[in-house]
């Protein structure tokens, strides 16, 4: 079954049709720039542009970088505050001419994709995927089942919101060296491990492409620590998976 996936990120809105049997894009993805400010209206226009590029008419899954419950976006740490309390499913569905839309947290989407087609394939127990980017997103699984909207990026670390200390944005903004940033990440991972005792941490986000620069520097974590495998496409694939569940379920 093919479903369309769209990933709303800090810099780009990207999407493609996804073959859900293989967890792979069936065409090259199309990307447009995320508008700034990322208001609901402006972002919805970009989503229409991406979906329209393929002339798609069918179910569409869309990721969002905040809490999403039953199609309503609840938080907006790194996007315009107009998303808080918004019926995003309704807005996007209307903008896409009535196509069935499912909205899902971006890290939850990436986690679903990694659990089925990437680094978490076949893994039971507690698995936590953390996406490191503008913010820190989290997806928590027990025996393959997702606990949605866990928001572990907003745990407190050294008196700060953890994502302000350990995201890749913090690394860039503060021009931290890899070892310095890895120490912060280690502290954060140790905190999450203390709370959840996962068997496996999957580290996602764009920086996972450079995993060899920082994962080997992290010490004292009991859980296995591996980079995500789907990298750029995890959000698109996970968004499509969420939309299929909506259609099938
Ligand atoms: C948001 C999360 C999101 C993460 C990554 C955080 O600031 O609160 O919902 O998953 O950023 O985009």
For the chain, what are the domain ranges?
Answer: 2-108+233-248, 122-228
Please tell me the predicted confidence (pLDDT) of residue 73: 98
Q: Whose CA is nearest to atom 5 of ligand 1?
A: 137
- CATH number for the segment(s) 2-108+233-248: 3.30.420.40
| Residues 59 and 102: beta-carbon distance below 8 Å | yes
- CATH number for the segment(s) 122-228: 3.30.420.40
* Within this chain, domains 2-108+233-248 and 122-228 share the same CATH topology: yes
For ligand 1, is residue 246 a contact (CB within 6 Å)?
no
Q: Whose CA is nearest to atom 6 of ligand 1?
A: 135
d(CA 176, CA 34): 26
d(CA 115, CA 118): 6
Average pLDDT rounded to a whole number, residues 4-13? 94
pLDDT band at 106 (very low <50, low <70, confident <90, very high): very high
Question: What tokens does 16 get?
Answer: 């493609």
User: 211 Cβ partners below 8 Å, 6+ apart?
Assistant: 203, 227
How large a percentage of the chain has pLDDT more than 70? Answer: 99
| Residues 153 and 136: beta-carbon distance below 8 Å | yes
For ligand 1, is residue 111 a contact (CB within 6 Å)?
no
For ligand 1, is residue 163 a contact (CB within 6 Å)?
yes
For ligand 1, is residue 108 a contact (CB within 6 Å)?
no
pLDDT band at 215 (very low <50, low <70, confident <90, very high): very high
Average pLDDT rounded to a whole number, residues 132-153? 97
What is the Å distance from ligand 1's center to 99 Cα? Answer: 26
CA distances from 161 to 52, 139, 154, 164, 166 (A): 38, 18, 5, 6, 9
Task: Report pLDDT digits (tens) over 47-60.
Answer: 999 999 999 999 99
Measured from the Cα of 106, ligand 1's closest atom is 10
Whether residue 110 is predicted with pLDDT greater than 90 in this model: the reply is yes
Does an H or E element contain 19, and which? strand 12-19
Q: What is the rounded average pLDDT for all residues in the chain?
A: 96
Question: What tokens does 171 get?
Answer: 């690394």
């Amino acid at each position: 079954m093919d479903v369309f996936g769209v990933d709303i990120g800090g810099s780009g809105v990207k999407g493609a049709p996804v073959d859900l049997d293989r967890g792979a894009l069936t065409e090259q993805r199309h990307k447009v720039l995320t508008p700034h400010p990322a208001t609901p209206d402006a972002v919805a226009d970009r989503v229409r542009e991406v979906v329209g590029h393929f002339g798609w008419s069918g179910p569409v899954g869309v990721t969002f970088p905040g809490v999403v419950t039953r199609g309503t976006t609840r938080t907006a740490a790194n996007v315009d505050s107009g998303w808080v309390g918004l019926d995003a499913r309704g807005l996007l569905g209307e903008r896409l001419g009535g196509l069935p839309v499912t909205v899902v947290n971006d890290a939850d989407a990436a986690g679903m994709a990694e659990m089925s087609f990437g680094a978490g394939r076949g893994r039971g127990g507690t698995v936590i995927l953390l996406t490191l980017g503008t913010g820190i997103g989290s997806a928590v699984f027990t025996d393959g089942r997702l606990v949605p909207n866990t928001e572990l990026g907003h745990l407190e670390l050294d008196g700060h919101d953890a994502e302000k200390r350990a995201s890749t944005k913090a690394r860039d903004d503060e021009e931290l060296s890899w070892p310095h940033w890895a120490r912060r990440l280690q502290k954060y991972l140790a905190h999450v491990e203390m709370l959840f005792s996962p068997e496996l941490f999957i580290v996602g986000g764009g920086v996972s492409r450079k995993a060899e620069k920082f994962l080997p520097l992290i010490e004292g974590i009991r859980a296995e620590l591996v980079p995500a495998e789907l990298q750029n496409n995890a959000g698109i694939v996970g968004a499509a998976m969420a939309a299929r569940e909506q259609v099938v379920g």
